Structure 1
Amino acid sequence: MAQETFAFSSSALRSLRLQRELLEQEERRRALARESATRRLLPAATRPPLAPPRRPQYCRDPAVHNALYTGDLERVKSIFKDDATANMVLETVSEELVWSPEQGLWVLSPRKKQTSALRIAAARGYEDCARHLLLRGAEVDAVVGGRGPLHDAAAAPRPACARLLLDFGADPNLLSAEGTAPLHLCTAPDSLPCAELLLAHGARVNLGTRERQLTALHVAASRGLAAHVALYLRHGADPGRRSRQGETPLNAACAAAERPPEAPAYLQVAERLLDAGADPRAAGRKGHTPLHNACANGQHGLARLLLRHGADATVPNGAGDTPMDCALRAVPEYPQQRPERTIALLLQHGAGPVHPKVGGGGGGDGVVVGGCHAVSPPPRLARRRVLQMLRFCCGHPPALELVLNASERVPPADAWVGAVPPELWEVRGHHGGGGTHTHRGGLVPTAASCPCVSPPPGAPGLLRLGRAGGGAAAAPAAPGSLRPAPAPGRPLP
């Protein structure tokens, strides 16, 4: 086929033949090495008679594959009549072009995928075919191609086949080549019956994967499977169990809650974990707490739940960022999730719009926020952090309004106003003396519809962002002339 598809030269064809011969030699060498490694090094007098090793049979016949994949029971019975055929290794070979550094050209390399007849029947849900194979001597825990039949039945999921395999003695804690047990593969909402079967037959609920040490509770929490989480907790799952990277199931749930439609499911997962004793302050990878992850994903409901259970709104992570920093960075990423609600929630629980390390007075470049007074950094660093905060919020007027209202001092607008889109500016009219006039420099961001969120108690209002009735559109002003409109009695810096 390769000669008909590609115009290879004679030298290229010789290289391909050489490559194939080398691969066949390597396979024969490995087979001999495996055979020699299994021999006992005993004296000849005491060496028992060696039974002829039963080598697995390999099958590449498409007719056999078709009978299994279609669930044709009659053809399966006619093909698999004994234990030798029931334990055949089914192979599919495809040739792919791979780069050979030794030869300096692309060569065709065979790629083999192996499976077993019992794996195919279990994954497809053909219970009758699976029962016939088991009665003919198919090994119920044979790991072929990296997985056992029970792994495929749990991942599919196929509860009837999983029950059949367990009744024939399948090991519910068998690890695949990737180091996962069948319980780790129950990742779909309809896999709950399989998870119940596995636990009823002795699956270890706190068994971790080989590499990352993730438990089934970690997996279910990261997928937003509230029913699975409740099931595992009833069977003794540890809500504080940490993975190799230090992540708890609560960390995993808050980090995975990225899409708004799935927010209710992750909220239920977090509620069940917290009710079971999960620590809302437990820091995982890079020092992220569940609150950091929830704020970074713009999940207001999760943040409120965590704060209600005692999460710290001011603790920094490994990079020195607080949950407020994460919430501000989420403003341009998740504007549809109304990030101003999360910012207001953090402010009400003692956080400031800027990390305390940036707080403190000192001229017009600093910002005093939330009553947090710490050792002030150099003015340039403080100014840079504050301006970065304002640029995060400038595209979302409700968040910008809330941040400015919570600040006692606002840096000059000409330092950050350049990041504001032109369509967000309008001239605000100020009513006074029986008439309306335009206040010079009173340019503030606005939007067609921006529900304003009130600042925390005690924070005086500085700006009110929104479409003002009768406000006229303003032409872009010269740099340095744009400053927020002052509220009565509140001088600008």
Structure 2
Amino acid sequence: MTRSPLPSPPRLPPRQRRLQEVRAPPPQVHCRDTAIHNTFMCGDMKGVYAVLKDPAMVNALMETVHEEMVWAPEMGMWTLSSKVRQTTALHLAASRGHAACVEELLFRGAEVNADPGGNTALHDACTGAHSVCVQLLLSHGADSERLSADGSAPLHLCTSALSFHCAKLLLEGGANVNIRSRESRLTPLHVAAQRGLEEHVELFLSHGADVLATNQEGETPLNAACSRAERPSEAGRYLRVIQKLLGAGADPQTAGRKRHTPLHNACANCCSRIADVLLLHGAKADIKNCAGYTPMDCLLQVVEDYQTQQPEEIARSLLNHGAKPVSPKMLKLCAPVPAVLEVMLNSYMSLPPCEWMDSLSDEVYEEHGPFLDLVHQRSASPRSLQHLSRHALRLHLGARCHSAVGKLDIPSSVRDYLLLYNDGTLK
């Protein structure tokens, strides 16, 4: 008995067959050849042309091995582990800024939005601040708002001064200036403020960035800038960023979930000029965070670490804008910087008992003996009528002390006395 042959599948019309052939995805090629990886990483065009003789290499998956330190709980120690990462020739070239190589790959049909390792080539180009590559990728349809595996858009990765033109190209290409990262809810303005990037901040603001946007922790770009202004050498550019944000309508009283305001951060970083600007724009000098700390508390906790940054200027500004005198127990924190101790003691109506002085180290006494001896002698003693008058006037003016005294038609020496400027005495 013979079987009849199985019926053949219905034949598609010629046009549909051609469409199916065009749309059929090419077989994925995996490449682990380090020499080929290096060809695209180094932008060796002669080598690039040789590799691309095989059309499948245009979108081949490049598998690279990276050595990373990982915690091994079973061993209780950090160990070196090999991690395999996937990328493409376009990613490798764009991340190194090899524009000619990127252009050749795009011309040959490289998938511009492929993200085998969690990032697109546009993400990598922005991270490396390679603006020519960014322009090429955008002109070939790169998605300027695609989020990476870690939730970052290309604009979030413009994190260096050199990346300004990348950010500008993205915005000109239609990227959303207020796009949020996936989990942290950061906007590009948050990132630029954190990094102290003046040009980026100005660019984002000019394109309508929301200066009042809050991240997952409830913090605005102003909070972000004030928290990161930690190094004296960077204080100037962070100050300019903060001034731009305040000029655009940032609220210096906005606190995150921990009720930590920009002023708390400025005091914790001992940035006197930033603290002054915040106070002049309406920051509250006596507000408490969720731990019950005021900006003055934050300052006194770091006085010893920032002795050369004139912490007395911040203490004076806080007191002149309504901060209350601290508990006498906290005066011990001021001992390493007599100028701060002087300002604090002059905020009391009478000098409080100074039992805390008995616990000071010999090193502190050796360095600041004369002034500490004066404090010890005057401890719990009556103050002069001149000081009592100053205290009564300051108490009456409260938070208006700084602005009101500045308007009085009095000699500068009297004005300085009322505003607690240091003269090395305790009258």
TM-score (norm. length: structure 1)? 0.69
Structure 2 Cα separation of the partners of residues 114 and 67 of structure 1: 16
Q: Which residue of 1 aligns with 2:328?
A: 386
Partner residue of 2:229 out of 236, 251, 257: 257
The alignment status of 1:335 with 2:278, answered yes or no, reads: no
Paired amino acid for 1:319: A
Q: Which residue of 2 aligns with 1:67?
A: 39
Q: How does 1:465-484 map to 2 (within 5 A)?
A: none
Q: CA deviation at 1:291?
A: 1.0
Residue identity over aligned pairs, in percent, reads 47
Q: Which residue of 1 aligns with 2:356?
A: 415
Q: Which residue of 2 aligns with 1:397?
A: 338
Aligned length: 375
Of structures 1 and 2, the one scoring higher in RCO (CA 8 A, sep 6+) is 2
Paired amino acid for 2:58: A
Going from structure 1 to structure 2, the CA distance change for 1:454 and 1:211 (only over 3 Å counts) comes to farther
Classify the secondary structure of the residue corresponding to 1:287.
coil
Q: Which residue of 1 aligns with 2:181?
A: 209
Paired amino acid for 1:67: T
Paired amino acid for 1:404: L
Whether contact under 8 Å (2:270, 2:299) holds in the other structure is: yes
Structure 2 Cα separation of the partners of residues 314 and 212 of structure 1: 29
Q: CA deviation at 1:443?
A: 8.8
Q: CA deviation at 1:56?
A: 2.4
The alignment status of 1:287 with 2:247, answered yes or no, reads: no
Paired amino acid for 2:365: P
The alignment status of 1:308 with 2:280, answered yes or no, reads: yes
Going from structure 1 to structure 2, the CA distance change for 1:454 and 1:266 (only over 3 Å counts) comes to farther
Going from structure 1 to structure 2, the CA distance change for 1:302 and 1:139 (only over 3 Å counts) comes to same
Whether contact under 8 Å (1:217, 1:232) holds in the other structure is: yes
Going from structure 1 to structure 2, the CA distance change for 1:84 and 1:209 (only over 3 Å counts) comes to same
Structure 1 Cα separation of the partners of residues 75 and 297 of structure 2: 53
The structure in which a higher percent of residues are helix is 2
Q: CA deviation at 1:328?
A: 1.6
Partner residue of 2:424 out of 464, 469, 487: 464
Structure 2 Cα separation of the partners of residues 246 and 293 of structure 1: 15
Partner residue of 1:182 out of 133, 149, 154: 154
Q: Which residue of 2 aligns with 1:169?
A: 141
Q: Which moved more, 1:103-112 or 1:189-198?
A: 103-112
Q: Which residue of 1 aligns with 2:390?
A: none
Q: Which residue of 2 aligns with 1:321?
A: 293
Going from structure 1 to structure 2, the CA distance change for 1:300 and 1:103 (only over 3 Å counts) comes to closer
Classify the secondary structure of the residue corresponding to 1:416.
helix
1:274-333 C-alpha deviation (Å, 9 max, x unpaired): 111111111114101111111111111111111111111111111111111112222112
Whether contact under 8 Å (1:220, 1:228) holds in the other structure is: yes
Q: CA deviation at 1:125?
A: 1.2
Q: Which residue of 2 aligns with 1:92?
A: 64
Q: CA deviation at 1:249?
A: 0.3
1:374-397 C-alpha deviation (Å, 9 max, x unpaired): xxxxxxxxxxx431x212110111
Whether contact under 8 Å (2:32, 2:62) holds in the other structure is: yes
- Structure 1 residue runs of 5 or longer lacking an equivalent are 1-43, 355-384, 429-437, 445-452, 466-485, 488-493
Calculate the aligned-residue CA RMSD, in Å: 3.4
1:196-228 C-alpha deviation (Å, 9 max, x unpaired): 000000111000100100000000001001111
Paired amino acid for 1:400: L
1:308-367 C-alpha deviation (Å, 9 max, x unpaired): 11111111111111111112222112112110000011111111232xxxxxxxxxxxxx
Structure 1 Cα separation of the partners of residues 424 and 83 of structure 2: 65
Classify the secondary structure of the residue corresponding to 1:162.
helix
Q: CA deviation at 1:94?
A: 5.4
Q: Which residue of 2 aligns with 1:195?
A: 167
Whether contact under 8 Å (1:343, 1:399) holds in the other structure is: yes
Structure 1 Cα separation of the partners of residues 82 and 239 of structure 2: 47
Paired amino acid for 1:289: T
1:156-180 C-alpha deviation (Å, 9 max, x unpaired): 1111111000111111111111110
Going from structure 1 to structure 2, the CA distance change for 1:132 and 1:345 (only over 3 Å counts) comes to same
Whether contact under 8 Å (1:344, 1:455) holds in the other structure is: no
Classify the secondary structure of the residue corresponding to 1:74.
helix
Going from structure 1 to structure 2, the CA distance change for 1:411 and 1:83 (only over 3 Å counts) comes to farther
Structure 1 Cα separation of the partners of residues 76 and 258 of structure 2: 42
Structure 2 Cα separation of the partners of residues 98 and 280 of structure 1: 41
Classify the secondary structure of the residue corresponding to 1:282.
coil
Structure 2 Cα separation of the partners of residues 99 and 84 of structure 1: 38
Whether contact under 8 Å (2:62, 2:87) holds in the other structure is: yes
Structure 2 Cα separation of the partners of residues 204 and 252 of structure 1: 20
Classify the secondary structure of the residue corresponding to 2:289.
coil
Structure 2 Cα separation of the partners of residues 103 and 336 of structure 1: 45
1:227-251 C-alpha deviation (Å, 9 max, x unpaired): 1101000101000000011010000
Classify the secondary structure of the residue corresponding to 2:369.
strand
Whether contact under 8 Å (1:82, 1:137) holds in the other structure is: no
Q: CA deviation at 1:54?
A: 4.3
Q: How does 1:353-372 map to 2 (within 5 A)?
A: 353-354=325-326
Q: Which moved more, 1:86-95 or 1:338-347?
A: 86-95
Structure 2 Cα separation of the partners of residues 461 and 161 of structure 1: 56
The alignment status of 1:245 with 2:217, answered yes or no, reads: yes
TM-score (norm. length: structure 2)? 0.79
Paired amino acid for 1:386: P
Whether contact under 8 Å (1:166, 1:172) holds in the other structure is: yes
Classify the secondary structure of the residue corresponding to 2:182.
coil
Q: How does 1:2-151 map to 2 (within 5 A)?
A: 54-81=26-53, 83-93=55-65, 110-151=82-123
Whether contact under 8 Å (1:304, 1:345) holds in the other structure is: yes
Whether contact under 8 Å (1:206, 1:216) holds in the other structure is: yes
Whether contact under 8 Å (1:405, 1:462) holds in the other structure is: no
Structure 1 Cα separation of the partners of residues 77 and 289 of structure 2: 48
